[in-house]
Structure 1
């Protein structure tokens, strides 16, 4: 290491004993370098049309598809724990899906109605949306599929309409998760032209083609019907490419840049934090959380300690905010 703090320590100087600063809880707390609180957590939620719906996602225990009537009382409990930001995802029935994802901006879209209801009931809550075609597309891809190819620029028009519809419903933060080139700038222009200059964009900047998305796709039934997402999501082998994506998104108007997944990409979180002043968020994705749920159920690890260590590692890497399915449990542990 080149840091002079380390160069000045002489090997023969035995007066330096780091354990003295670990000897009791009060001292450990005083010198703690990384802080983690409920204000850093963003809770992803799955919404479904209908009433009296509370369906547990089999591959993501403790997480549910909610109808809005069942979600409202739970929402207040989570806010009382200090969780103020929520990322909302729609579980859309198959008969409503088509090639162009037209239901995403339709007036009758239950997702948009749910956003309005939540915003009216809890105006102080911060609501984040998902912008991509996959929940609404009959092809299951994040972009428009033409002749077997995911086409970039024609997708932008759909993403723009989707974003404006969500802003009209009351969303606070637009979350483009599609990884189409140029979509942040296009969405920013569309929002501004519609009078939504104050609506933020949290771009999925470095979203990798990961094996850890399975339970999420189960929750929304949004897996691709053919092929994979490697032509638009990032190669897990690439690091410097994240710098290119971040620079483009920030130049186009992103208010936050996100790394997804989090746990296998702590180095990417740190890289973006060290190189950009824009706030960095990270998505502790469904597969990462499912591993902990399964291991804890089998008695292979301590759930509480594993959750807090995992979230702390993401914060330590540089994340200003963490999207995580652990949010309610973690917030209770912090009380």
Structure 2
């Protein structure tokens, strides 16, 4: 066998990352897709052909019963990896085995939170906050024991998602210095942006109190302006990290654990992206609706992307039908 035939997927990934300046989250997503492929086959990159790719597609869609969009995302990553390998001479393929492997994804109804669901989420979290206050109002708890605690912290997360429509990755990348409480705006930096664009958003009056509280409490426990704002680890008595030096940044796991627990207790799915869809949909229901304002809030570069976020307003449709059939 030649050296190229012995090339492993890990080696191909390392070559790809060395030649592309990708973000940590992007690197993680590539590694995740490759791991799932290696669970299906033990073959080397140069041994992959289109027939094997189609067999993997059948396995993912039929046996694992994953969505078409999930499969297409895997194809996008693997196709880019193989295109690089072929162009750089690391792979011997004449044609990319992942070409023409995508499937048509149906357009699903957008997943939003109804007014009743949003109220239920806030009622539940208000109960947790009230219990914390009755217990002495301690700022710190062990979030590993209960993913919804400290409630005041997670209520700030919910308010930020509800009043800014930002993505969870943007939330994680907000630094304390990105929040201007005096002029009431916050900056979303390139590191957390999907489209590599900075964005400045207003802090409205409903969001200000909790955001101001989080900034103050973070500074009180020794956080520096350049550090991550939304970091539950600062208030985690289980680790006591703040007493031993630098506090580790909050990763994606605490956010996932929180929304998983919230969904279980509310008995319906709650996720950061559903808040994003909900804000866009509700803004377009307003009599003063302005799709350009929605586009700017969501940070999109095209109206087409914005329209994908907006759910059909069934109430408006009902009113139109009522008027039509009354005639």
TM over 0.5: no
Identify the structure with the greater strand proportion: 1
Identify the structure with the greater helix proportion: 2
TM-score by length of 1: 0.24
Higher relative contact order (CA 8 A, sep 6+): 1
